[in-house]
Structure 1
Amino acid sequence: MKEILDAILAPDSSASDFAALPLPESYRAVTVRKDEAGMFEGLDAREKDPRKSLHVDRVPLPELGPGEALVAVMASSVNYNSVWTSIFEPVSTFAFLERYGKLSPLTKRHDLPYHVIGSDLAGVVLRTGAGVNAWKPGDRVVAHCLSVELESADGHNDTMLDPEQRIWGFETNFGGLAEIALVKSNQLMPKPAHLTWEEAAAPGLVNSTAYRQLVSRNGAGMKQGDNVLIWGASGGLGSYATQFALAGGANPICVVSSPQKAEICRRMGAEAIIDRNAEGYRFWKDDQHQDPREWKRFGARIRELTGGEDVDIVFEHPGRETFGASVYVTRKGGTIVTCASTSGYNHEYDNRYLWMSLKKIVGSHFANYREAWEANRLIAKGKIHPTLSRTYTLEETGQAAYDVHRNLHQGKVGVLALAPEEGMGVTDPELRAKHESAINLFRGA
């Protein structure tokens, strides 16, 4: 690995130099182990500790197949799917790997007694497989996490509709929280030149997800002037939704859980902010019954902030805890667009407020190829910025996942893989200088 890192750090390394590098037989990676999948049985989700289940192991280098690439990972990041994997919820990811392994002899490689996790990376291409023409060794890249087969016509208009659509590093093996990752070459995108490795690795999954969910016609199709309610507006996903709303001429109503998170939203440029803890919203009376009076109080507070208007779009991802309120406060004819369910998957809402007011619930999941590229292009142009607050080492990934699990973080948390320290990888300092304050907005938060 030292030769690979030396080549990446050298300013004059060529494609042929990278192609000539010997590949290691093994590499360090963050894993969960199949024989530990039952380790948290009987515990409440909050009691499950990623620090106990995530390991840094040395694993064999996977075989490179057609249309694939091996990438030296300089940095990665932690997403909620990393947390779900680490606590084996809602199911063990080994069920995904077993199912994928049955698809073909090539996918059989993924069905292993360990799972290398991680759905983001920034790094350098080491090798490409047969049929790859767009990328070569030495290219600086980031990777989006959409893995598809595209052997069915269902996915040809929207690749997210492919029957074999999976999230790399969550539903496939050989993910980005490692020194080397295996990806399909069509996952690769150019690394934004003005960002460091850790900054470039942070947006991938959440930025693309927020783009499809809020901006794309496959999601809410946000337009100028829309009032957009954003749950967790300073978090890993919500911080990008807040930026998209502001950049697109919409009015974000940012829901947060502390004064510190409220201040982050103000620094992003948002004006309408609700600290749900400070204002004491409790949408559930108990585990079985919601409290419609709290929905009404919440809706009244929103109208105070919007000059009497209800929200056109709700950017939903907490799920069970908030979904009833989200359906209620949306304006007549408005849209609740939902991805994930970090507080629970079984949503409950009063359907009268949906059908009689002609509202729409739109399901959204990651992004198709084009949406991922558009989202990355906005990062590369300095229109949308990474929301990296803190960086961990590979050995500290368990702690990073624990912090995300317990909502102790702001924005995104990064993980250094091969990068020996933070601050490396910038090749366009001029563009960076124009956006330095925005890039560092979440640092230390």
Structure 2
Amino acid sequence: MTQLGEIQQAILTGESAAVGSLPVPESYRGVTVHADEVDMFEGLESRDKDPRKSLHVDDVPVPELGPGEALVAVMASAINYNTVWTSIFEPIPTFKFLKKYGKLSPLAKRHDLPYHVVGSDLSGVVLRTGVGVHNWKPGDEVVAHCLNVELEGPDGHNDTMLDTEQRIWGFETNFGGLAEIALVKANQLMPKPDHLTWEEAASPGLVNSTAYRQLVSRNGADMKQGDVVLIWGASGGLGSYATQYALNGGAIPVCVVSSPEKAAICRKLGAELIIDRSAEGYRFWKNDDEQDPKEWQRFGARIRELTGGEDPDIVFEHPGRETFGASVYAARKGGTIVTCASTSGYMHQYDNRYLWMNLKRIIGSHFANYRESWEANRLIAKGLIHPTLSKTYALEETGQAALDVHRNAHQGKVGVLALAPQEGLGVRDEEKRAKHIEGINAFRGA
């Protein structure tokens, strides 16, 4: 049996604590992009770029463990849109991030390699911890959030997302979670929710924390009971958590989706106010250069029809260019548009009169700090928020999983198995699971 096989066997037989006495292998399999392939999609439109061609499963060396870090045996991971961006080398190849990071210190230099092990989610078991780590030990079952910070300057000590050396692990750093072993800072680790399988526990990390900060935190929209919240892509990776937070927090979600199937999922979550933008034919752009304010007005009227005449207090934005003009228009007077991404394009256009004359606010929100991530994970562990996993792939099929997300052919989150040989493993509290099984499985088979 290989060294990784011994580690896997110990975890699967419930003897995770034994991994501390097992040798760490010299190499592992990880999903990578290659620096010498960054031009492979040159001349193609974004939609035509195929992650199956750029994402590889390679044997790579286990990185040196530094102070304050941990090596984790990865049981499962998940696909986020940043992995799609990495795989199509947009907006820039991630090797530029790795090269810049590598200049920071001799320890950071490890990340500057001709390959990039990607992935910003994981669930697994701590294998080793570096000097100075005292909250975690080998054998601990964990999940990881994706905030990588140095905290040597003052800016991040009120909100770590403002640290001048803030990065997203597995996107702006190497040794990510789509792999059999991952390297993280120990302050990325959080307890694995014990009623979830490995793949379920791995799937919320990035999007759940992002939605929490964006919608619930004082650093985001600071949602309160009764707020009308317009949620774009309400059944997707981010939106599915925003919908849950709105419902769980006493707000009123207005869920924007693109198909009857996605509308059905939102209803399953408990949402009642739903706009199928495809069925209702909204076209916010007349052409590539000109938006259509009449479509904004039609959209706003539809929202008021559903809410009994109320405009959204909060707009949960992430599509970007395609929807941003409509979002600024639709928010109520004094309302908030909070944005964390631009999956349809980064160059936003909107009519500023609707912003300044109606005292609206645009808030930028990027991932979450450690406290926000911990709170988001705590809500998962308590069964108040549930994973939105719809489908799981093997590590070798990561390219196809990324393609699903790239083409929006998925619901909720798409998982990837690493050392877990099959789905359904890793549950430690069957009684708690039974209480929440309907919510846990809400997206299954979608």
The bucket for the TM-score relative to the shorter chain is over 0.9
Query: What letter corresponds to residue 426 of structure 2 in structure 1?
Result: G
Query: 1:326 — aligned with what?
Result: 327
The residue that corresponds to 1:383 in the other structure is 384
Pairing 1:28-43 to 2, within 5 Å after superposition: 28-43=29-44
Name the CA distance, whole Å, in 2 between partners of 1:365 and 1:137: 31
Alpha-carbon distance, 1:9 to partner: 1.2
What is the match of residue 121 of structure 1? Answer: 122
- Distance in 2, matches of 1:413 and 1:403, equals 8
Please give the per-residue CA displacement for 1:223-267, whole angstroms capped at 9, x wherever unaligned: 000000000000000000000000000000000000000000000
**Secondary structure of 2:334's partner?**
strand
SS at structure 2 position matched to 1:403: helix
Confirm whether residue 219 of structure 1 aligns to residue 220 of structure 2: yes
Alignment of 1:17-166 (within 5 A): 17-166=18-167
Q: Tell me the C-alpha RMSD between the 2 structures.
A: 0.5
Task: Please state how far the C-alpha of 1:13 moved relative to its aligned partner.
Answer: 4.5
Match of 1:205 in 2: 206
Deviation string for 1:299-344 (max 9, x for gaps)? 0000000000000000000000000000000000000000110000
Matched, 1:6 2:20: no
Is there any run of 5+ residues in structure 1 with no aligned partner, and where? none
Paired letter, 1:125: V
Cα separation, partners in 2 of 1:422 and 1:80, compared to 1, 3 Å: same
Q: CA deviation at 1:11?
A: 2.3
1:310 match: secondary structure: coil
What is the SS of the residue equivalent to 2:83? helix
Residue in structure 1 matched with residue 374 of structure 2 by the alignment: 373
The SS at the match of 1:98 is helix
2:138 and 2:166 map into 1 onto residues whose CA distance is: 27
Query: Is residue 2:345 matched to residue 1:344?
Result: yes
Once residues 199 and 395 of structure 2 are traced to their aligned partners in structure 1, the CA distance between those partners, rounded to angstroms, is: 12
Pairing 1:265-344 to 2, within 5 Å after superposition: 265-344=266-345
The amino acid across from 2:14 in the alignment is P
Q: TM-score, normalised by structure 1?
A: 0.99
Residue 166 of structure 1, CA deviation: 0.1
Aligned partner of 2:442 in structure 1 is: 441
In structure 2, runs of 5+ residues without a counterpart are none
- Give distance in 1, aligned partners of 2:202 and 2:5: 21
CA distance in 2, matches of 1:427, 1:88: 39
Q: Specify the code of the residue in structure 1 equivalent to 2:102.
A: G
Alignment of 1:424-435 (within 5 A): 424-435=425-436
Q: Report how far residue 396 of structure 1 moved.
A: 0.3
SS at structure 2 position matched to 1:137: coil
CA distance in 2, matches of 1:300, 1:18: 59
> d(CA) in 2 for partners of 1:443 and 1:397?
19
Secondary structure at the counterpart of residue 82 of structure 1: helix
Identity %: 81
Query: Which amino acid in 2 is paired with 1:232?
Result: G
1:196 & 1:369 partners in 2: Cα distance?
A: 23
Which amino acid counterpart does residue 318 of structure 1 have in structure 2? P
Letter paired with 1:209: T
> CA-to-partner distance for each residue in 1:142-201, whole Å, 9 max, x for gaps?
000000000011000000000000000000000000000000000000000000000000
Q: Does 2:252 correspond to 1:251?
A: yes
* Aligned counterparts of 2:83 and 2:202: Cα–Cα separation in 1: 14
Which residue does 1:261 correspond to in 2?
A: 262
Contact 2:16 2:140 in 1 (8 A): no
What stretches of structure 1 move > 3 A for 4+ residues in a row?
none
* Offset of residue 12 of structure 1: 3.9
Q: Residue 150 of structure 2: SS of its match in structure 1?
A: coil
| Structure 2 match to 1:237 | 238
Alignment check: 8 A CA contact 2:311 2:331 kept: yes
Give the Å deviation of 1:129: 0.2
Q: Matched residues in 2 for 1:187 and 1:131: separation? A: 14
Summarize the Cα distance change of 1:429–1:156 in structure 2 as closer, same or farther, 3 Å threshold.
same
Query: Separation in 2 of the partners of 1:150 and 1:174?
Result: 20
Distance in 2 (CA, whole Å) between partners of 1:105 and 1:329 is: 49
> In the alignment, is the contact (CA less than 8 A) between 2:75 and 2:122 conserved in 1?
yes
What's 1:402 paired with? 403
Cα deviation, 1:389-441, whole Å, max 9, x if unaligned, reads 00000000000000000000000000000000000000011100000011001
SS in 2 for 1:108: helix
CA contact (8 A) 2:16 2:125 kept: no
Aligned-partner SS, 1:333: coil
Aligned residues: 443
Task: Give yes or no for contact 2:125–2:142 (8 Å, CA) kept in 1.
Answer: yes
Shift of 1:112: 0.1
